[in-house]
Amino acid sequence: MTTENDKKPAYSPGLAGVIAGETEICWVDPNAGLMYRGYDIHEMAEKANFEEVAYLLLNGELPTTAQLGEFSQALAAERSLPKEVLEMMRLLPKKTHPMDMLRTGYSMLGPFDPDLNDHSHEANIRKAMRLIAKTTTLIADGFRIQHGQNPLPERTDLTMAGNLFYKLSGEVPPTWKIRMMDTIFILYADHEYNASTFAARVTASTLADMYAAVTSACGTLQGPLPGGANEEPVKRLADIKTPDSAEKWMRDALARKAKIMTWGDRGYKSGNMRLPTNRTNRL
């Protein structure tokens, strides 16, 4: 005899094993690596800059030299923030967490976008480019405002990575620093169906605007379980203090069944796919 309980679907904690959607943009293979549009991220990190990878993710193919130049110029032209957004950041408490400032900045930028409620593919690309361009400005200008300094003007002659360093410090960084930041940007550009991506897709599925979706994603990323936007690993390193203490710290944490933030991903079987030691070249 079939009961009502027999008809219930299986419970899947954390949506484990549940196919929530499909994407051609990013693929996490737990046994091979992380791919952007079929390209191994480690080769991209070695040979490309962030603007090339952003173009790839948005358009499905790598840009030609001419396309990259046009795309980079278009991004640089969209970096500046409306004066109202800058004023909003000045009104926030000085101890506001940077992720709270970023999340609030995304939300406030929405009404200033002329394509806000145009859901066509062309308009979505334009909005995505504006969001990409303005993210580092929100970070840098917010940092300077919190430290009692005035935001610096954009350097459109610098790449996204170089401009971020300049706006934070007031100095044009050496090439190795730009390369380092480019590598960080590339490795964290996408990660298939992480929590923040899932949150953004849920919001976007209601036909809410892109800024609402990105605000949802930013709020989700801020939580400590996905690492608090890389904040939690820094805290863990401060707790561990020295390399010699790492193993004991880890064993003690495991014995307490403590949550160890960003030490991996529930989909990984052989380590963090962003690390070179877990690279498998699939090109």
pLDDT digits (tens, 9 = 90+) for 230-278: 677 777 788 888 889 888 988 988 898 877 765 445 554 444 444 554 4
CB of 140 closer than 8 Å to CB of 151: yes
pLDDT tens digits, residue range 101-121? 999 999 999 999 999 999 999
User: Which helix (H) or strand (E) is 40 found in, with range?
Assistant: strand 39-40
Q: Which amino acid is it at 147?
A: H
Instruction: Please give the Cα distance from 251 to 76 (Å, whole number).
Output: 47
Sign of the four-CA dihedral 160, 164, 167, 173 = negative
The angle at the Cα of 268, spanning 263 to 270, to the nearest 5 degrees, equals 90
Please report the pLDDT score of residue 262 as a whole number.
55
Structure tokens at 7: 């008809």
Please report the pLDDT score of residue 52 as a whole number.
96
Please report the pLDDT score of residue 67 as a whole number.
97
Instruction: Please give the Cα distance from 97 to 89 (Å, whole number).
Output: 12
- Domains of the chain plus CATH, in order, are 26-228 (1.10.580.10), 232-267 (no CATH)
Q: Which amino acid is it at 11?
A: Y
Gap between the terminal Cα atoms of the chain: 54
Please report the pLDDT score of residue 223 as a whole number.
76
- Rounded mean pLDDT, 62-87: 96
Alpha helices by DSSP H, listed for 78-171, are: 83-91, 98-109, 121-146, 160-169
Instruction: Please give the Cα distance from 260 to 267 (Å, whole number).
Output: 15
pLDDT tens digits, residue range 131-184? 999 999 999 999 999 999 999 999 999 999 999 999 999 999 999 999 999 999
- Rounded mean pLDDT, 209-237: 80
Question: Is pLDDT of 283 > 90?
Answer: no
Stronger pLDDT, 34 or 95, i.e. the higher one: 95
3-state secondary structure at position 121 = helix
Question: Is pLDDT of 280 > 50?
Answer: no
Counting Cβ atoms within 10 Å, is residue 177 exposed (0-12), middle (13-18) or buried (19+)? Answer: middle
What percent of the chain has pLDDT above 90?
A: 55
